[in-house]
Amino acid sequence: MKFTQRLGYYLGGFAIGLIILMFFLNGKDASCDYSPNARTVKNISSKPIAYSKEASNFINNHDLDSITIINLVKFGNVDFSESITNLDSCNVYIIENSYKEQEMELTVKNCDSLATLLKINYSKN
């Protein structure tokens, strides 16, 4: 069998496989979140977010809105060395992100059905 025939069979099978894969994943929100940071941020972002009084005061004083907070969580980096992840009920995560060229730290309590934003601080970096 010539190389061109083998290449043709390979590309034909590959194309059929892609079509089948697109058929199965059509309409699904499939994503590849393999890193611990991506899984944690996705888990927090998928839940309703409540705000503590301290976080609400910070949000009101600095003219932030809920969409900004959600984006800070969604696109932030989790600092696992500072987070408390060995609790049975609700883990507490420190999420770092920047907003208007200032580094921010968000402390989020992640429970089964609710994520609570405990506090927001400007980092001292």
36-59, pLDDT tens digit by residue?
A: 899 999 999 999 999 999 999 988
Flag whether the pTM goes above 0.75. Answer: no
* DSSP assignments along 73-102, one per residue: HHT-EE-TTTSB---SS-EEEEEEEEETTE
Domain count along the chain: 2
Residues 70 and 92 in one domain: yes
| pLDDT tens-digit map of 16-39 | 999 988 888 776 666 777 888 999
Q: How many CB atoms lie within 10 A of CB 40?
A: 23
Strand-pairing partners, residue 86, are none
Q: Average pLDDT for residues 71-92, to the nearest whole number?
A: 89
Residues 7 and 61 in one domain: no
Residues 58 and 102 in one domain: yes
Owning domain of residue 74:
34-122
Backbone torsions φ then ψ of 86, nearest 5 degrees = -105, 20
Residues 39 and 5 in one domain: no
Distance separating alpha carbons of residues 94 and 115, to the nearest angstrom: 13
Is pLDDT above 90 for 85?
no
Mean pLDDT of the chain: 88
